[in-house]
Amino acid sequence: MRIGVIFAFAKAALLWSGAAFAACEGYVPQPPPQNTSRQDVGADYDTIIERGWIDIAVYEDFPPFSYIEDGKLTGVDVEIARLIADDLGVEARVRAVASGETVDTDLRNWVWKGPLVSGRVADVLMHVPYDNDLGCRNEQVVLTGTYYVEKIGVAWDRTVYDDAPTPAYFRYDPVGVENDSLSDFYLSSAFRGQVRENVKRLPSYADAMQALAAREFGAVVGPLTQLQFGVRNEPELAVSDVPLPGLSLGEWTLGVAVRHTYRQLGYAVDDAIQAGMQDGRIPAIFEKYGLTHRAPEW
C-alpha cells in the first residue's frame, strides 16, 4: 500500500488545517551514522560514470509507476529511471524494493544506511515526496529531481452519477478507497464522521478500481494517477478533480532521493529530469500509461 506509506510521515497534518511552523522548527539534528559499511552508502557521481551504470530503486508492486508485466519490470518510474541513466550516459540498473512503514524507513533502507536484513542501498530512490518536514527529519538524504504533482480526485461510474460526485455524496453512497491511505483517513473523518460507514476499504487501488468496474459501488477516491490507470479500458468510468472540503494536503510533489554526500549526483539527476520535462519525454511517459502529467511549478 504505497500511497498509505507515503503519508505515514504526516498523518497529523493531513486533514484539518492547523498552525504553520518554520521549516525544520522543532527537529533535533540526528547523530551522524557510525560504522556504516562502504557498500551501504551508494556511489558518487564520478564512480557511476567511471563504472558505466547507475543503481536506481523503485517500489515493488506499485502500478502504474513500477510493476511486473509479462515478466518485466515496467511503469512510469521505471521509464524515468532509464531516462536519467540515458542522460548520464550510463546503463540503468533498475530494481524493485519493498516499502516500509514510513518514508523515513525507506530513506534509511534504500538511500543512506541499508536494511537490517537482506538488501543494499541504491544510488537513487524514485517516487519520494518532496516535503520540507521529511527533509528536515532525514539529514542523511537530499530530496531533488521533482517530476510530478499528485492530487486526490474521484473515479466514478457514468451509469450511477450524471456528474462527478463530491465527498458530500458519500454520506449516503458507498465509496471505495485503498485501506490506510490518505483518502481513507480523509473520508473517515469528513463531515464529522458521517461518511465513515460508507467507506469500502480495499487492499490496493487496483482492487478498488476492479470493484468499481464490477459495479460494487459507484465511486473511488484516490490519487489521480491510480484512478486514471484504472479506468483506461473502462469507457463507462470517468476521473475528475473535485473539491475536497477540509483536506489541507490534497496534492503533493514527487521527486527522488540521493545520499547527502552525493550532491553532485543529485544535481545531475535533477538536470536530467528537468530536461525530460522540458523536451516532452516525461509527459510522453505519463501519456503512454493513460495518465495526465502535472509538472511542479517552481
- Cis before 64 (ω within 30): yes
- Residue 274: count of CB within 10 angstroms of its CB: 18
More confident residue, 160 or 298: 160
- Say which residue, 112 or 13, is predicted with more confidence: 112
> What amino acid is encoded at 217 in this protein?
F
- Give mean pLDDT, residues 100-119: 91
Report domain extents, the chain: 2-8+42-149+253-288, 150-240
Given a contact cutoff of 8 angstroms between Cβ atoms, the answer to whether 147 and 255 are in contact is yes
d(Cα 76, Cα 78) in Å, to the nearest integer? Answer: 5
**Residue 42: per-residue pLDDT:** 66
Which one is predicted more confidently, 1 or 286? 286
Q: Which three cell numbers stand for residue 112?
A: 543512506
Supply the pLDDT for residue 23.
62
**Does residue 33 have a pLDDT over 80?**
no
Quick check: pTM over 0.85?
Answer: yes
Number of separate helices (H) and strands (E) present in the chain: 10, 11
Are 142 and 267 contacting, i.e. CB atoms less than 8 angstroms apart? Answer: no
Residue 177 scores a pLDDT above 90? yes
Cα–Cα distances (Å) from 229 to 53, 220, 233, 284, in that order, read: 31, 13, 9, 15
The pLDDT of residue 20 is 43
Judged against a pLDDT cut of 80, whether residue 242 lies above it is answered with yes
- The pLDDT confidence band at residue 83, using thresholds 50, 70 and 90, is very high
- pLDDT at position 19: 42
Mean pLDDT of 99-127: 93
Q: What is the mean pLDDT of residues 39-66?
A: 90
Q: Where are the alpha helices (DSSP H) in the chain?
A: 2-6, 45-51, 76-88, 103-107, 132-137, 182-193, 205-213, 224-231, 263-278, 281-288
Q: Return mean pLDDT, the chain.
A: 89
User: How far lies 225's CA from each of 168, 235, 291, in Å?
Assistant: 23, 17, 6
Domain 2-8+42-149+253-288 classification at class level: alpha beta
12-21, 117-126, 164-173: least confident range: 12-21
- Residue 203: CB partners within 8 Å, gap ≥ 6? 1, 178, 179
Provide DSSP, 51-101. Answer: HTEEEEEEESSBTTTBEEETTEEESHHHHHHHHHHHHHTSEEEEEEE---S
17 confidence band (pLDDT: 50, 70, 90): very low
Which residues are CB-neighbours of 223 under 8 A, at least 6 positions away? 3, 150, 151, 152, 153, 205
- The interaxial angle of helices 281-288 and 263-278, nearest 10 deg, is 70
* pLDDT confidence bin for 117, thresholds 50/70/90: confident
| Superfamily holding 150-240 | Periplasmic binding protein-like II (3.40.190.10)
So what's the pLDDT on residue 12? Answer: 35
pLDDT of res. 125: 98
Which of 40-44, 53-57, 163-167 comes out lowest in average pLDDT? 40-44
Question: CA-to-CA distance for 129 and 60, rounded, in angstroms?
Answer: 17
104 three-state secondary structure: helix
Q: Is the pLDDT of residue 133 over 50?
A: yes
Evaluate whether 2-8+42-149+253-288 and 150-240 have a shared fold: yes
